[in-house]
């Protein structure tokens, strides 16, 4: 069990990208700045994908240049290809993330490319990033299930993660995109990937569709993973999977980790305040059990 866990906050990107109503640029900037003040070490600020496909994040450049970046905090941004990378670099991004899936069907629906084609798109990104001294994080989605094909062979998860790591991604986040995983399956998947990719280069990313996210995290912590993705207020979801709920709420993750004596460096009170503020901004109840409980006590 790790003594310290690094949390990668994905709310400003993965959490907001599926919102139906357009969120003001100033509010997105305020969200990142509030999160920066909580002690989080990594905050995924936005995504430089085509506004045609993700209109909610069309203001990526304005958001990134508007946030108050703090020393010691990483602000990775998602890029789909070399064009997106160039846009991100133009506004000062020093860390990026690339995204593919272990399900070929999901990948084609999500990015209009098969797995191997998407990996080829990333090669020039990784090559340019290496030349620029930019760190690249990789995402492997549908690691525990696909809304189209159902079960995803663990061998495909291993293959994709291995390819991203070999290309130069310093860290690979393994995502249960539709939240169908259970602790046993999560543990087995992580263990299989760790046979080819070092554990210290792996992270986990769970959605809470069936209320299994924290249990899955615990199972993976017991295997030795020490990096976990989460989204403040449990925002997010999957536009390609009907009924899939949001990401694991960062507040709930921090509460569990602190209760286990695992250090995060995060101020839970400040984080819960931010989750409550965001829920109010979005006009709904927070997706965090901790935040909801504290609001009634």
DSSP per-residue codes, the chain: --SB-EEEE-IIIIITTT-SSPPPHHHHHHHHHHHHTTT-SEE--EE-S-TTT-GGGTTHHHHHHHS-PPTT-B--EE-SSHHHHHHHHHTT--EEEEEEES-HHHHHHHHSS-HHHHHHHHHHHHHHHHHHT-EEEEEEE-SS-BTTTBS--HHHHHHHHHHHHHHT-SEEEEEETTS---HHHHHHHHHHHHTTS-GGGEEEEEB-TTS-HHHHHHHHHHHT--EEEEBGGG----TTSTT---BPBHHHHHHHHHHTT-B----HHHHHHHHHHHHHHHTS--S-HHHHHHHT-
Q: How far apart are CA 111 and CA 223, in angstroms?
A: 32
Q: Specify whether domain 6-295 bears CATH 3.20.20.70.
A: yes
Least confident of 15-29, 78-92, 232-246, 278-292: 232-246
Which position among 146, 169, 220, 238 bears the catalytic label? Answer: 238
* Cα Rg of the chain, angstroms: 17
Residues 6 or more apart whose CB falls under 8 angstroms from that of 259 comprise none
pLDDT of residue 239 exceeding 80: no
**Pair 172, 203: CB distance under 8 Å:** yes
Q: What is the pLDDT of residues 195-227, one digit of tens each?
A: 999 999 999 999 999 999 999 999 999 999 999
According to the model, what pLDDT value does residue 112 have? Answer: 83
Q: What is the pLDDT of residues 132-183, one digit of tens each?
A: 999 999 999 999 999 999 999 999 999 999 999 999 999 999 999 999 999 9
Residues 6 or more apart whose CB falls under 8 angstroms from that of 148 comprise 103, 105, 106, 109, 240
For the record, the structure tokens of 289 come out as: 């059990």
pTM summary value: 0.96
* 21-34: average pLDDT: 97
According to the model, what pLDDT value does residue 241 have? Answer: 57
* 275-279: average pLDDT: 96
Residues paired with 206 in a beta bridge: 176
pLDDT of residue 190 exceeding 60: yes
Residues 6 or more apart whose CB falls under 8 angstroms from that of 83 comprise none
According to the model, what pLDDT value does residue 277 have? Answer: 97
According to the model, what pLDDT value does residue 87 have? Answer: 98
238 is catalytic: yes
Q: Please state, rounded to an integer, the average pLDDT across all residues of the chain.
A: 94
Q: How far apart are CA 40 and CA 262, in angstroms?
A: 14
Q: What is the pLDDT of residues 55-72, one digit of tens each?
A: 999 999 999 999 999 999
pLDDT of residue 240 exceeding 60: no
């Amino acid at each position: 069990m790790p003594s310290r866990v690094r949390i990668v906050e994905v709310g400003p990107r993965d959490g907001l990208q599926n919102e139906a109503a357009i969120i003001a640029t100033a509010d997105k900037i305020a969200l990142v700045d509030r999160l920066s003040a909580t002690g989080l070490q990594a905050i995924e600020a936005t995504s430089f994908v085509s506004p045609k496909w993700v209109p909610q994040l069309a203001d990526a450049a304005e958001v990134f240049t508007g946030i108050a970046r703090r020393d010691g905090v990483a602000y990775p941004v998602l890029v789909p290809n070399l064009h997106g990378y160039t846009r991100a670099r133009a506004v000062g991004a020093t860390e990026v993330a690339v995204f593919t899936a272990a399900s070929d069907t999901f990948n084609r629906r999500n990015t209009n490319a098969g797995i191997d084609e998407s990996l080829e798109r990333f090669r020039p990104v990784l090559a340019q990033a290496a030349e620029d001294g930019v760190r690249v994080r990789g995402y492997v989605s549908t690691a525990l299930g696909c809304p189209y094909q159902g079960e995803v062979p663990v061998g495909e998860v291993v293959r994709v993660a291995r390819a991203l790591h070999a290309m130069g991604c310093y860290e690979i986040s393994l995502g249960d995109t539709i939240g169908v995983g259970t602790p046993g399956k999560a543990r087995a998947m992580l263990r299989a990937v760790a046979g080819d990719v070092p554990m210290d280069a792996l992270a986990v990313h769970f959605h809470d569709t069936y209320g299994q996210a924290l249990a899955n995290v615990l199972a993976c912590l017991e295997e030795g993973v020490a990096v976990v993705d989460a989204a403040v207020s449990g925002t997010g979801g999957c536009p390609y999977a009907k009924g899939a709920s949001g990401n694991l709420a960062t507040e709930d993750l921090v509460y569990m980790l602190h209760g286990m004596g695992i250090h995060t460096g995060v101020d839970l009170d400040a984080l819960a305040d931010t989750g409550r503020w965001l829920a109010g901004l979005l006009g709904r109840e927070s997706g965090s059990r901790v935040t909801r409980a504290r609001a009634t006590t």
